[in-house]
Amino acid sequence: MAEDRVYSVTELNRVAREFLEEGLGPLWVKGEVSNLVSAPSGHLYFTLKDAESEVSAVRFKGRASLLPSVVLKDGLSVVAYGHLTVYEPRGRYQFVVSLLQGAGLGTAQLEFERLKEKLKGEGLFDAGRKRSLPPFPQRIGVVTSPSGAALRDILSVLERRWPLVEVYLFPSAVQGETAPLEIVEAIRSAATFNDKYAPIDVLIVGRGGGSLEDLAAFNDERVARAISACPIPIVSAVGHEIDFTIADFVADVRAPTPSAAAELAVPDSGEVLSLLRTLHRRLAHAIRSAFDRRRRLLETGLRGYIFRIPLRKAATASQGLDLRLDELHRSIVRALEARDRELLRLEDRLPLVDPRLPLRRGYCLTFTPGDPSPLRDPGRVSRGETIETRFLIGKILSRVEEVSRT
């Protein structure tokens, strides 16, 4: 561009503008808003600054609707996306903003920290205040948006783990300006329902993950106080793992996600079924032992009785006594057998898989020496080998003559 020609001021500014616009593409700038002026045209003029420098910025009207969640005001820390240009009539360069968002570590974060310290100071986060959740809730309340993914997640976990529970939905917006009051109202409604209608054992309050702005309602002081005042134990279920909100600190139990809240709130039917199986087994074992003990008792009793009769006397004992002893013995055996049959019938009602069940039905199991599990494939033995066939009341050892597979 080294040349002798003399530029007019207008030409210079135009060249500078083209140079800046073409040389430097769109970019992000972080800074604090100041000198905000809302022009009658609808454009917003302000200065973005940090500790050492500042730059003029403008957000043109047509673009202002891009991010309605951010209300620009002086002092707000923002991250702005846009490009540099030169305002030719004044020869000033400025940043034209096309996208703008709260900087996260700006005032919202400051407010978060301020409220957190305040409520902590009042003891609202104290471990001693936290109530534990009942192990077997009958009714669960949920405060969330009826159309949100959070509700879907919660219901699908409850359905899978513990479909016995009754769910009561207290609908509420979970973002936007009305959300804090709607959540407060839904929690109050749940408390009244709990008081007047039917007890609610656990209340899940939450929503899916989102930006700091999206989660604002759960950082609201009114919501925090409603949670802390609620007579029902509350599980907070806000967002994904990394999002901590004030609601999380106040709640009795904090769950990292709505699904996790549902898991914390109810027992697992799979675990209950396995406890049930264990109790089944113990019952069956105990009744069997009771019969065995009784049988041994009777048998030793009987032997003792016979031994007490002196041999000499026994030899000459009247036939009548022999008969009576014999009769006594037979009646005891009959009684035991009847009990055993009854026991077998009772055990048949158990949906347990007792390895001896097939044996009772008349099937046999075949084993090869040294192998504790039954033989399933005849191809694994060959002629001349020894096999053992087990029945309910005994076994047969045999030698293989021929092997064929179907």
Q: Which is nearer to another protein, 85 or 257 (CB)?
A: 257
Q: H/E element holding 105?
A: none
Q: DSSP H helical segments within 162-214, as ranges?
A: 179-196
- CB of residue 341 vs another protein: minimum separation in angstroms? 12
Q: Which is nearer to another protein, 197 or 391 (CB)?
A: 197
- CB of residue 158 vs another protein: minimum separation in angstroms? 6
> Measuring CA to CA, which residue among 249, 221, 220 is closest to residue 120?
249
Residue 68's contacts (CB-CB under 8 Å, 6 or more residues apart) are none
Q: Which structure tokens are listed for 35?
A: 């000198």
Q: Which is nearer to another protein, 20 or 343 (CB)?
A: 343
- CB of residue 183 vs another protein: minimum separation in angstroms? 14
* C-alpha–C-alpha distance, residues 148 and 144, integer Å: 8
Decide the pairing of beta strands 166-171 and 253-255. unpaired
Q: Which is nearer to another protein, 84 or 204 (CB)?
A: 204
- CB of residue 180 vs another protein: minimum separation in angstroms? 18
> Measuring CA to CA, which residue among 211, 213, 223 is closest to residue 249?
223
* C-alpha–C-alpha distance, residues 78 and 106, integer Å: 7
- CB of residue 187 vs another protein: minimum separation in angstroms? 12
* C-alpha–C-alpha distance, residues 66 and 95, integer Å: 17
Q: What are the residues binding another protein (CB under 8 A)? A: 135-136, 138, 141, 146, 151-152, 155, 158-159, 162-171, 189-190, 192-193, 196-197, 269, 272-273, 275-276, 279-280, 282-283, 286-287, 290-291, 293-294, 339, 342, 346, 349-351
Collapsing DSSP to helix, strand or coil, 18 comes out as helix
- CB of residue 294 vs another protein: minimum separation in angstroms? 5
Q: Which is nearer to another protein, 108 or 174 (CB)?
A: 174
Taking residue 362's Cβ as centre, other Cβ atoms within 10 Å add up to 8
Distance of CA 80 to the CA centre of its chain: 38
* C-alpha–C-alpha distance, residues 149 and 208, integer Å: 7
Q: Which is nearer to another protein, 161 or 254 (CB)?
A: 161
CA 36, 38, 42, 43 torsion: positive or negative?
Answer: negative
Decide the pairing of beta strands 139-144 and 202-207. parallel
- CB of residue 278 vs another protein: minimum separation in angstroms? 9
Q: Which is nearer to another protein, 39 or 338 (CB)?
A: 338
- CB of residue 339 vs another protein: minimum separation in angstroms? 7
- CB of residue 265 vs another protein: minimum separation in angstroms? 13
Burial of 130 (0-12, 13-18, 19+ CB in 10 A): middle
CA 176, 180, 181, 187 torsion: positive or negative?
Answer: positive
Q: How far is CA 178 from CA 102, 278, 302, 347, in A?
A: 20, 52, 86, 61
* C-alpha–C-alpha distance, residues 141 and 161, integer Å: 16
- CB of residue 102 vs another protein: minimum separation in angstroms? 33
* C-alpha–C-alpha distance, residues 357 and 348, integer Å: 8
